[in-house]
Structure 1
Amino acid sequence: MQDQRPVADGFVYASLEQLMLLEHRVRDLSFLSRQPLSSVLSGNHAARLRGRGLSFDELRQYNPGDDLRHLDWRASLRYGKPFVRSYTEERDRPTLLLVDQRMSMYFGSRRNFKSVTAAELAAIGAWMAFHAGDRVGGLVFDDHRVEHVRPLRSRARVEALCSTVVRFNQALHAKRTEDAAPGQLDRVLRECLGIAGHDHLIVIVSDFAGVSAQTLQLLRQLNRHNDVLALQVFDPIALKLPDRGRVTVTQGELQVELEVERRQVYRPLGEFLSGRLKDVATLLRRSQVPLMMFSSGQDSLEQLRGELGHLTALQR
Structure 2
Amino acid sequence: MTTETRLATLDGFVYASLPQLMALELRSRGLSFLSRQPLSSILSGAHASRLRGRGLSFDELRNYTPGDDLRHLDARATLRYGKPFVRTFTEERDRPTLLLVDQRMSMYFGSRRSFKSVTAAELASLSAWIAFHAGDRVGGMVFGDDKIEHIRPQRSRARIQALCAAVIKANHALHATRPETEQQNQLDTVLRHCLASAGHDHLICIISDFAGAGAQTLQLLRQLSAHNDVIAMQVYDPIALQLPDKGRITITQGTVQRELQVGSKQVQQPLGEFLAGRLRDVAELLRRSQVPLMMVSTGEEVIGQLRLELGRLTRRAG
Code of the residue aligned with 2:276 in structure 1: it is S
Residue 135 of structure 1: aligned partner:
137
SS at match of 1:208: coil
Structure 2 match to 1:6:
6
Q: Distance in 2 between matches of 1:294 and 1:155?
A: 25
List gaps (5 residues or longer) in structure 2.
none
> Are 2:209 and 2:234, in contact at CA under 8 Å, matched by a contact in 1?
yes
> CA 1:3/1:293 → structure 2, altered by over 3 Å: closer, same or farther?
closer
Question: Any idea what SS the aligned residue of 2:170 has?
Answer: helix
**TM-score between both structures, scaled by the size of structure 2:** 0.90
Match of 2:221 among 219, 222, 228: 219
Distance, in Å, in 1 between the alignment partners of 2:270 and 2:62 is: 72
**SS in structure 1 of the partner of residue 152 of structure 2:** strand
Show the 5 A alignment for 1:1-316: 3-4=3-4, 6-7=6-7, 8-34=10-36, 40-41=42-43, 47=49, 49-58=51-60, 60-65=61-66, 66-75=68-77, 83-177=85-179, 179-251=181-253, 254-314=256-316
User: 1:92 deviation in Å?
Assistant: 0.8
Q: Supply the distance in 2 between the matched residues of 1:105 and 1:252 (Cα, whole angstroms).
A: 12
Is there any run of 5+ residues in structure 1 with no aligned partner, and where?
none
Range that drifts further, 175-184 or 281-290: 175-184
CA RMSD of superposed structures (Å): 2.4
Contact 2:235 2:295 in 1 (8 A): yes
Kindly indicate whether the alpha-carbon contact (under 8 Å) linking 2:180 and 2:253 is maintained by their aligned counterparts in 1.
Answer: no
CA shift at 1:27, angstroms? 1.0
1:205 and 1:232 in contact (8 A); partners too? yes
* Superposition deviation, residue 158 in structure 1: 1.1
Q: For residues 82 and 50 of structure 2, what CA distance do their matches in structure 1 show?
A: 39
Deviation at 1:80, TM superposition (A): 7.0
Spell out, residue by residue over 1:273-303, the C-alpha distance to the aligned partner (whole angstroms, 9 max, x if none).
1111011111111111111111101000100
1:233 CA displacement: 0.4
Per mean C-alpha deviation after superposition, the further-off stretch among 260-269 and 186-195 is 260-269
* TM-score where L is the length of structure 1: 0.91
Which one is further off, 303-312 or 104-113?
Answer: 303-312
Q: How far apart in 1 are the matches of 2:48 and 2:86?
A: 32
Q: Secondary structure at the match of 2:23?
A: helix
Against the structure 1 CA distance between its residues 35 and 21, is the aligned structure 2 distance closer, same or farther, given a 3 Å change threshold? farther
Amino acid aligned to 2:158: A
- Rounded Cα–Cα distance in structure 2 between residues aligned with 1:3 and 1:241: 33
Count of equivalent residues:
313
Contact 1:102 1:142 in 2 (8 A): yes
